[in-house]
Structure formats: C-alpha cells, structure tokens
Structure 1
Amino acid sequence: MHSSADDIRKLLAAKTWAFVGLTDTPYRTVYQMAAFLQRNGVKIVPVNPRAEAVLGEEGHTSVPPGVDVVGIYRRSQFVGPHVDEAIEAGASGVWTPLDVVDEEAAGRAVDAGLTVVMDHCPKIEWPAYGPTA
C-alpha cells in the first residue's frame, strides 16, 4: 500500500519537511534526521508544543500550510492526529521513522492523496533514493 521505492524517492526529493516532535535535543533521532536533511538542502519546519525554534528555524505548535512532507517522530499511537494535520495543511506526504506504524492513519492519508512512507529512516534511504542518488 505504501513505502515503495518510488514513494521514498518522491518524499526524499521534497523541498520542505515539517518535523513533528522536533526540539533542540541533539541526541534525539528527530533532531538528527532534521539536521541531516537540512545539510542536504531541505528546509525544515520544527513542530513542537512550545513552538521552539530548532536548527535556526522558527518553530510551530502545529503543522503549518506550505510544507511538502510531514515527518511524524512520535510513537505509533500518536500518529493519527498528525496525519490529519498534514492532510489539513495540504502536505503531499507523511513519513514515520523506524518502528512507527499506524495503518489506519496511513489509509486516511492515501485516501486524501498523500504519499505515505512508514517505518523507514531518511538517512538510511538517502544513499539509494535521495535526489543525488
């Protein structure tokens, strides 16, 4: 249903990613993935409860309009509402990291026309599917 090579390639080529759960804590996976994509030319948009600025980018309390991909770095049981935010914001895709899966939310996203990649790591996929691959 999702996470095909074409889906991964499409999302990794996106220019703007909102990262749900991104705070200024360098040892967290979400920070490392946002920093990695930023170093590779992707504009990042931090989304966290305090609207904290991270990696030099203005923070938001919810997914703002104008982002291409919403990376949801929360546990599986919290993915659904953020997928709904991505749909409402007009994003073209959602991505969840390794071991984070919500098939019901993925179905809603696909039904709304979004590309879905779940249970994958952008940094792992980049060498094979990133824009420079």
Structure 2
Amino acid sequence: MGNRFADQDVIRRLLTEAHTWAFVGLSDHPGRTAYDQAGLLKSRGRRIIPVHPAAGAVLGEPGYASLAEVPGKVDVVAVYRRSEHAGEAIDEAIAIGAGAVWLPLGVIDEAAGERALAAGLDVVMDRCPGVEWALRRTA
C-alpha cells in the first residue's frame, strides 16, 4: 500500500477543515475504538454522526441505519468495520457525495480506496485520527 492512502497533506486538511464526520460502525459501546475516536473528534468541535444498523443515539447524537439516511453534507466517512466490509461503506460514501473516507488502523481495502479516489474523494487508510491529531497538535 505504501503511502498512497496516507498523504500527510490530506490528513492535515481533513483534521483541520472537515467538520462533519459520519462514523460507520459506531454504536453506544464505550471502550470500542469507534466510540473513542468519535468522542475525541466531538471533543475537538467536530460534528459526529453515528451510522449503524441499530441506529441508536451515540454521544448525544442521533444515529442512522445507513449513510443514505444521513441528512446534509458529510465531509468524512470514517469506516469502523472490518476490511472485508469496508468496500460497501466506501461505495455508500461515494454515492452520498462525501468528501473523504478514512479507514482506521488495520482496515485496508485498496480496491475500494481506488474507487473512491476515482470518484474524487480523499482517502486515508490504515491511520488513526487520534494518533494523527496528536502528531500534528491540531486544535
């Protein structure tokens, strides 16, 4: 994979300029990575949108069963699903016109990442928003 999906300029821009993050796979289970990362971004002023089939509220935000149900513009779709399910979420992100997709550590689907790039989305893969935020000391 190399650094194709870890462009530091893209990462910096998403962390500083993207305000609406839809978290695919986010449920109300404290201690899970998606919950922790969504909470971190929310604490830094980002709007988070839980996307999970159970569609429950998480961190005080209403949940949606799918990306297609999310009202308004989504800057980043963070895909907190296993790699074998990431492609479906990325295709949904493309379909709703999201600006970017972000796959956390260990979640890799290069073919889906290429589809997203071809559709004009920024792609970050195999990177943790919290770690990247700390590296940049972004406020």
Give yes or no for TM over 0.5. yes
Q: 1:113 aligns with which of 96, 99, 120?
A: 120
The residue that corresponds to 2:60 in the other structure is: 56
Instruction: Name the CA distance, whole Å, in 2 between partners of 1:89 and 1:111.
Output: 15
The residue that corresponds to 1:34 in the other structure is: 38
Q: Give the AA of the match of 1:95.
A: W
Q: Does 1:10 align with 2:13?
A: yes
Distance 1:17 1:130, change over 3 A: farther
Contact conserved, 1:9 with 1:130, CA < 8 A, in 2? Answer: no
TM-score, length-normalised on structure 2?
Answer: 0.91
TM-score, length-normalised on structure 1?
Answer: 0.95
The residue that corresponds to 1:82 in the other structure is: 89
Segments of 4+ moved more than 2 angstroms: 127-132
Q: Does 1:123 align with 2:136?
A: no
Q: Give the AA of the match of 1:46.
A: P
Deviations 1:55-83 (A, max 9, x none): 01010011125110000001100000100
* 1:127 shift after superposition: 2.3
* 1:131 shift after superposition: 4.0
Distance 1:40 1:50, change over 3 A: same
Structure 2: segments with no counterpart, 5+ residues: none
Q: Give the AA of the match of 2:85.
A: F
* Identity fraction in percent: 52
Deviations 1:90-117 (A, max 9, x none): 1100001101100000000000000000
Q: Give the AA of the match of 1:16.
A: T
Contact conserved, 1:52 with 1:60, CA < 8 A, in 2? Answer: yes
* 1:2 shift after superposition: 2.2
